[in-house]
Structure 1
């Protein structure tokens, strides 16, 4: 029987992702307002303006209220001696196994919004790609970074 990852990211991620949704919405509204101002100059049909306005209402609702909750509920991770397992995805579930032997280095990232909420993301680098565990409590992220680094060294020594 294959066990699914059990650990969850911080519930503060909801607030961070909602703030990001607000920022994206403001940018989208600015672009939409500019487009609505310019469209009459080019004799664009009126229905195009209606579509832009409807999208300007729907997308913020999705990115501020719906997607953050769905994204948070679906995010899971587990760090084991041999691998790191990540599970994410709202509509398409992705489960990723990163063998410890492939881990080259581990970083923590913290932008201004994450810093405000005392969160950080852990990024696990392999030769081919990078895998992120988003929005962990700062202390948990640091502990996880050291733990993965230590396990990766042990896995490398065993080879």
Structure 2
């Protein structure tokens, strides 16, 4: 069996994913608060709202504090002359080999949360699908984009 890739994404990815999870956790919190208000207005039991509050708190703790660290620990990638090796997943670990000859184009993208931490995601497109290496340092993402583009061009010339 092939060795796992050695390269890791930036450690600030944990902070970016935690911020994203915090923003997403606001939705169930608003629903929970709405249920408390409705229970008060329509005079039905608060137990539904309390149950939903417990579920919301547990879900928030897991998605904000636990999942990003495990996700970062599992994300790995390696760039070779002939292929790109990507490994990710928490419960189901996915290992993907992308042959350089299949690479059509490579992009970097950066949303507001990644920009705050100086990170970018690298997207590798083939005819069949796209593959993403999330949360790389901006300079590293640009360098990898150029390196993959150059290696893919060399592979295209060899055919």
Q: Do the two structures share a fold, i.e. TM-score over 0.5? A: yes
Cα shift at 1:42: 7.8
Cα shift at 1:30: 1.1
Cα shift at 1:43: 8.5
1:128/1:46 CA distance change after superposition, 3 Å: same
Structure 1 range deviating more: 93-102 or 41-50: 41-50
Partner of 1:3: 3
Cα shift at 1:21: 1.2
- Output one character per residue of 1:84-130: Cα deviation in whole Å (capped at 9) or x when no partner: 11111111111111111111100001011111111101000111111
**In 2: Cα distance, 1:27 partner to 1:140 partner:** 34
1:43/1:8 CA distance change after superposition, 3 Å: same
Alignment of 1:26-41 (within 5 A): 26-38=26-38
Partner of 1:108: 108
Query: Which 4+ stretches in 1 moved above 3 angstroms?
Result: 35-48
**In 1: Cα distance, 2:118 partner to 2:31 partner:** 32
Cα shift at 1:47: 4.9
Aligned residues: 159
**In 1: Cα distance, 2:101 partner to 2:153 partner:** 8
Partner of 2:140: 140
In the alignment, structure 1 residue 21 sits paired with structure 2 residue 51: no
Structure 1 range deviating more: 133-142 or 149-158: 149-158
Partner of 1:74: 74
TM-score by length of 2: 0.91
**In 1: Cα distance, 2:156 partner to 2:42 partner:** 63
**In 2: Cα distance, 1:35 partner to 1:106 partner:** 46
